Amino acid sequence: MDKPALRRLALRVWRTLDRETLSRQVLSALLPWLRERGFRHILLYHPLPHELDLTPLVEAYPVRYYLPKVAGEGLSVHPWGPLAPGPFGLKEPTTEAVDPGVLELIVVPGLAFDREGFRLGHGKGYYDRFLFGVRALSLGVVPEALLLPRLPRDPWDIPVAFLATERGVRRSDAQGPGSEGC
């Protein structure tokens, strides 16, 4: 199955899931993992309607959080703060951009992931370009129902180092950029 067909399938699966319950379960699995590693600078995301909502982390694990913002063909990094409507139905930060080099962990949403850490996104490549240029640990967030054996991939696709689901956090089967400090 090609990526466009998989995107349609993944969106249908997302509509059947209890996103609120799954978000709480992933948060419960993720908190001990974060505390154990002591991350202090984390790029989170503001969820789209079909994504897991991890924003309660800001209060449950009080460290420095950042949000991505679409900037041309890439993403810029901004301290957590007020949000404004952005492209693609995203809510984006209004704070000034900072150097992505401050990040220790990048939390990456996706329509689906595979066991090697490759992501099925919306097809624009923003996270792949971003992960290629940043030296921080990467963590994909996905329900088990959308953790697939293998996704089709392009040469520019970048796998995440870890995957968080409602069943826990585990190392992805592939190690690429963003796997330092594992």
Q: What's the pLDDT at 133?
A: 85
Residue 113 lies in a domain: yes
Residue 178 lies in a domain: no
Residue 69 lies in a domain: yes
Residue 64 lies in a domain: yes
Domain residue limits at 82? 3-171
Q: What's the pLDDT at 124?
A: 83
At residue 113, φ and ψ (nearest 5 deg) are: -135, 160
Q: What is the CATH number of the domain that holds 89?
A: 3.40.50.10420
pTM attached to this predicted model: 0.91
Residue 95 lies in a domain: yes
84, two tokens: 């404004």
Residue 66 lies in a domain: yes
Q: What is the pLDDT of residues 53-70, one digit of tens each?
A: 999 999 999 999 999 998
When pLDDT is averaged across residues 71-78 and rounded to a whole number, the result is: 90
pLDDT greater than 80 at residue 178 = no
Residue 179 lies in a domain: no
Total domain count, the chain = 1
Residue 46 lies in a domain: yes
Instruction: Give me the helices (H) in the chain, please.
Output: 3-16, 19-37, 57-60, 126-133
8 Å CB contact between 68 and 97: no
Residue 77 gets the label, from left (phi > 0), alpha (psi -120 to 50) or beta, of beta
pLDDT greater than 50 at residue 182 = no
More confident residue, 139 or 126: 139
